[in-house]
C-alpha cells in the first residue's frame, strides 16, 4: 500500500440542496460551468489534480501546500468576480478546507486522515471562505502574504484529536515572499562576497540543483528545456496585460506536467517582463534551448494571440501561429487558447519534438548522446511504416551498443517490436510481442526511472498486459503512464484503447474527448480510437464517419466491421482490400493478436465480420 504526504483541498457549494429544489436543471448547469471554467483549470494551473467529484463538491491533491493555498484564494476570488456579474438568485458560495497530511494512494483515489481532516475543515469554513489546519498555516505563513485568524482547537467528526483551525484572510495579494533574482545578486555583493567565490557557488548550485542543467557533450541524455515569457499586451488601451500573463502562467503550468520537457519556473522567466532583448541571451541566462513568447491584441470582440517558439541557441523561429477567438469570458478564452498553444508545441508530433528530431539528425553520428539516438529512433517510429519501424529498431540497437542498458533506448526498442505486431507488419507477431515484453520488464525492474521512461514503459506495458487478459493490471499501468504525463494528448488518446478493452467504454470516450480539446491536430489518431469505441457501442454510422477520416493502423479493418454491420458489404470488402495493400501479411489471426477485450464476444463478432468481408483467416507466411 503506497502512502505519501500531500496537501488536500476540499470544496463544496453552500446550500446546494436548497438551490437544487428551486431549479434543478439550472443549478446543475451553473455548477458544471463553474467547475469546468474555473475550478478545474485553476487547480491544474497550480499543479493540482482533482481526484474525486461529489455532486456539489470536489477533492484535489497538491504536491505543494503553498500551491494549494494560492489555488484556494484564486478560486474564491474567481467565484466572487462571477457572483458579482449575475443575479443574486444565481450566485454560488463555496467553502474550502485545506489540510496537509499522509494519504493512502489507491489508483486515482486518495484516502486517509489527510483527506478526512480537509473535508471537516471545509465544513467549518465560512461561505466564500477558506479554512486550513494549523499545519498548513505554519507551513505557509512565511511564504505567502496572506494572514490567518485562529479559530482555536476544535473537535471534528471521526477525528480523535482536536484540530488547530485557522481562517485565511484574503485581503493581501497572492504574492510569494521571495527575493528578485537581481536583488539577491546585489545582496551577495553588499555582504562583500568576492566575485570568484560567488561564481563558484553559483556553478555548484546549478550543477546540483538546476533541473535544466545539460550533460557534457557525449553524455547520457537530456530533455528539451523551455522558458515561457509573458505575452506582450499590444492592445491600444493596454487592457490585456492580465491575459498575457495568464496565458504564460497556464502554458508554464501545463508544460510542467509533460515528462519529456523541462520548464523554467514563472519566477525566473517573468523577470524578463517588459524587457526587449536578444532571445539568444535570454536563453543563455536561463539555461534553456527554447523560448516561447507572444502577444495579445483585441480587435472588437475578438482576441488575437500570436505565439512563437524560438530556438534559443540560434534565434531562429521553430514554430509560430495565430489564434483568433471571440467571446466575453476571459477565463474561457484563456483556457481554450492555452490548450491550442500547448497542443501545437508538445507531444510526439509537436513543434518542439520536430525541432529536436531535426537537430538530432543534423549531428555527426560519431558524437551522438543517448537522447540523440532516442530522437532518431522515435522520428522513424512515428512514421508508422514497416520500413520506419525496422529503421527505428536498428537505431535503438546502435544506441544500446554505445549506452549499454539505457532504459530510454531499451523501451524504445520494445515499442518498435510492439508496433510491428500491432500494425500487422510482423512476419512473426508472437516473437515480436514476446521480445517487447522482455524489454519492458527489463526497464520496469529499474526503480529509478525518469518520468519520461516511466510514461513510455508503463504505456507499453499496458498494451502487453491487455493482451495477457490482465485488464486490471493494464489499467493500473496506463494510469501510471498518464500520471507521468497527464496533458500528453497522444498518450491520453491511446489510453482510450486500453480502457475500451477493459470494458470502460465511457472512460475511453472521455479520454479521447480530452485529447481532442488539447490537440485538435491529432484528429487522425483520436478518430481512430473513437471508431472502435463507437463500434462497441453499436453506433456504426458514427464509427464510419470518424474512421473515414483516418488511415492509421488497422482503421480500414475497423471501417470494414462497421460497414458490414450496416449491410454495406461492397464497401467493407474494399476497406479490407485497402488494408491488405498496406499490410499484405494481415490475417484475422494476426489481427486478433493485437486486441484483447475483457468481453471476448466483442472480438469474436468483429472477426466474423472481417471473415465475411474477405480478410484471410490463416497465419502469415
Per-residue pLDDT tens for 280-299? Answer: 888 888 888 888 888 888 77
The residue among 329 and 84 whose pLDDT is bigger is 84
User: CA 46 to CA 66: how far, in whole Å?
Assistant: 9
Its pTM stands at 0.57
Q: Are 121 and 165 in contact (CB under 8 A)?
A: yes
Model confidence at 472, pLDDT cuts 50, 70, 90, reads very high
How many CB atoms are closer than 10 A to CB 520?
14
Per-residue pLDDT tens for 104-115? Answer: 888 788 888 889
Per-residue pLDDT tens for 356-415? Answer: 877 778 887 777 888 889 989 988 998 888 899 999 999 999 999 999 999 999 999 999
The CATH classification of domain 217-338, taken from the options 3.40.50.300, 3.90.1150.10, 2.60.40.2310, 3.40.50.10610: 3.40.50.10610
Model confidence at 264, pLDDT cuts 50, 70, 90, reads confident
For the chain, the domains span 2-169, 178-209, 217-338, 395-612
Q: Looking at residues 494-522, what average pLDDT do you find?
A: 88
pLDDT at 238 (0 to 100)? 75
pLDDT at 452 (0 to 100)? 84
List phi, psi (to 5°) of 552. Answer: -70, 140
In this structure, the strands spanning 130-133 and 147-154 are: unpaired
pLDDT at 187 (0 to 100)? 26
pLDDT at 2 (0 to 100)? 75
Residue 355 has pLDDT above 90, yes or no: no
Model confidence at 516, pLDDT cuts 50, 70, 90, reads confident
pLDDT at 327 (0 to 100)? 60
pLDDT at 329 (0 to 100)? 60
For the ranges 94-108, 265-279, 473-487, 504-518, which has the lowest average pLDDT? Answer: 265-279
| Residue 129, C-alpha cell as written in the block | 471562505
Per-residue pLDDT tens for 24-68? Answer: 777 777 888 888 888 888 898 888 888 888 777 899 999 888 889
Per-residue pLDDT tens for 184-231? Answer: 332 222 323 333 333 333 333 233 333 333 332 233 346 788 888 888
Q: What is the mean pLDDT of the chain?
A: 81
**413 closest CA partner among 379, 434, 436, 444:** 436
Per-residue pLDDT tens for 527-567? Answer: 999 999 999 999 999 999 999 999 888 999 999 999 999 99
Ramachandran sector of residue 245 (left: φ over 0; alpha: ψ -120 to 50; beta: rest): alpha
Q: Are 591 and 562 in contact (CB under 8 A)?
A: no
3-class state of residue 535 by DSSP: helix
Residue 149 has pLDDT above 50, yes or no: yes
pLDDT at 269 (0 to 100)? 79
pLDDT at 259 (0 to 100)? 67
For the ranges 160-169, 200-209, 605-614, which has the lowest average pLDDT? Answer: 200-209
Residues of the chain with pLDDT > 90, as a percent, come to 34
Model confidence at 619, pLDDT cuts 50, 70, 90, reads low
Domain 395-612 in CATH 1.25.40.10:
yes
For 2-169, CATH number? 3.30.70.1230
How many CB atoms are closer than 10 A to CB 180?
10
217-338 and 2-169 share a CATH fold: no
Amino acid at each position: 500500500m503506497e502512502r505519501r504526504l500531500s496537501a488536500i483541498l476540499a470544496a463544496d457549494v453552500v446550500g446546494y440542496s436548497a438551490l437544487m429544489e428551486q431549479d434543478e436543471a439550472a443549478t446543475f448547469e451553473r455548477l458544471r460551468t463553474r467547475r469546468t471554467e474555473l475550478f478545474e483549470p485553476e487547480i491544474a494551473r497550480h499543479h493540482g489534480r482533482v481526484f474525486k467529484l461529489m455532486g456539489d463538491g470536489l477533492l484535489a491533491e497538491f504536491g505543494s501546500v503553498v500551491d494549494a493555498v494560492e489555488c484556494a484564494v484564486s478560486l474564491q476570488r474567481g467565484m466572487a468576480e462571477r457572483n458579482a456579474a449575475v443575479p443574486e438568485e444565481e450566485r454560488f458560495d463555496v467553502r474550502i478546507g485545506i489540510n496537509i497530511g499522509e494519504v493512502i494512494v489507491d489508483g486515482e483515489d486518495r484516502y486517509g486522515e489527510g483527506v478526512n481532516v480537509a473535508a471537516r475543515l471545509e465544513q467549518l469554513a465560512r461561505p466564500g471562505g477558506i479554512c486550513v489546519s494549523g499545519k498548513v498555516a505554519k507551513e505557509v505563513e512565511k511564504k505567502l502574504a496572506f494572514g490567518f485568524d485562529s479559530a482555536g482547537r476544535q473537535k471534528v467528526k471521526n477525528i480523535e484529536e482536536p484540530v488547530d483551525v485557522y481562517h485565511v484572510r484574503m485581503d493581501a495579494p497572492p504574492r510569494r515572499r521571495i527575493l528578485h533574482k537581481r536583488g539577491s545578486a546585489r545582496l551577495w555583493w553588499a555582504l562583500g562576497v568576492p566575485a570568484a567565490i560567488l561564481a563558484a557557488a553559483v556553478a555548484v548550485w546549478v550543477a546540483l540543483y538546476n533541473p535544466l542543467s545539460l550533460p557534457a557533450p557525449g553524455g547520457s541524455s537530456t530533455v528539451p528545456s523551455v522558458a515561457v515569457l509573458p505575452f506582450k499586451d499590444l492592445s491600444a488601451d493596454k487592457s490585456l496585460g492580465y491575459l498575457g500573463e495568464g496565458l504564460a502562467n497556464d502554458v508554464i503550468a501545463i508544460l510542467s506536467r509533460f515528462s519529456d520537457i523541462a520548464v523554467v519556473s514563472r519566477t525566473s522567466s517573468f523577470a524578463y517582463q517588459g524587457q526587449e532583448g536578444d532571445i539568444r541571451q535570454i536563453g543563455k541566462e536561463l539555461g534553456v534551448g527554447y523560448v516561447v513568447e507572444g502577444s495579445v491584441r483585441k480587435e472588437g470582440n475578438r482576441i488575437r494571440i500570436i505565439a512563437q517558439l524560438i530556438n534559443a541557441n540560434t534565434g531562429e523561429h521553430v514554430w509560430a501561429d495565430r489564434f483568433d477567438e471571440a467571446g466575453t469570458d476571459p477565463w474561457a478564452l484563456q483556457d481554450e487558447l492555452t490548450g491550442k498553444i500547448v497542443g501545437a508545441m508538445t507531444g510526439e508530433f509537436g513543434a518542439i519534438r520536430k525541432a529536436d528530431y531535426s537537430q538530432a539528425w543534423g549531428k555527426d553520428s560519431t558524437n551522438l548522446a543517448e537522447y540523440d539516438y532516442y530522437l532518431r529512433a522515435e522520428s522513424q517510429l512515428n512514421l508508422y511504416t514497416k520500413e520506419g519501424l525496422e529503421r527505428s529498431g536498428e537505431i535503438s540497437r546502435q544506441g544500446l551498443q554505445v549506452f549499454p542498458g539505457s532504459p530510454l533506448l531499451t523501451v524504445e526498442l520494445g515499442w518498435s517490436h510492439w508496433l510491428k505486431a500491432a500494425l500487422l507488419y510482423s512476419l512473426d507477431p508472437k516473437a515480436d510481442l514476446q521480445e517487447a515484453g522482455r524489454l519492458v520488464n527489463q526497464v520496469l525492474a529499474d526503480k529509478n526511472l525518469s518520468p519520461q521512461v516511466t510514461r513510455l514503459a508503463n504505456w507499453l506495458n499496458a498494451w502487453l498486459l491487455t493482451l495477457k487478459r490482465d485488464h486490471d493490471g493494464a489499467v493500473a499501468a496506463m494510469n501510471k503512464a498518464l500520471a507521468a504525463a497527464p496533458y500528453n494528448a497522444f498518450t491520453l488518446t491511446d489510453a482510450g484503447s486500453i480502457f475500451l478493452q477493459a470494458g470502460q467504454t465511457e472512460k475511453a470516450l472521455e479520454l479521447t474527448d480530452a485529447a481532442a480539446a488539447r490537440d485538435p491536430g491529432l484528429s487522425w489518431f483520436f478518430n481512430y480510437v473513437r471508431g472502435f469505441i463507437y463500434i462497441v457501442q453499436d453506433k456504426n454510422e458514427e464509427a464510419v464517419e470518424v474512421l473515414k477520416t483516418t488511415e492509421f493502423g488497422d482503421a480500414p479493418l475497423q471501417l470494414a466491421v462497421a460497414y458490414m454491420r450496416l449491410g454495406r458489404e461492397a464497401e467493407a470488402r474494399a476497406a479490407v482490400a485497402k488494408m491488405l495493400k498496406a499490410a499484405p501479411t494481415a490475417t484475422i489471426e494476426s489481427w486478433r493478436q493485437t486486441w484483447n477485450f475483457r468481453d471476448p464476444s466483442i472480438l469474436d463478432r468483429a472477426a466474423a465480420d472481417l471473415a465475411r468481408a474477405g480478410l484471410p483467416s490463416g497465419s502469415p507466411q
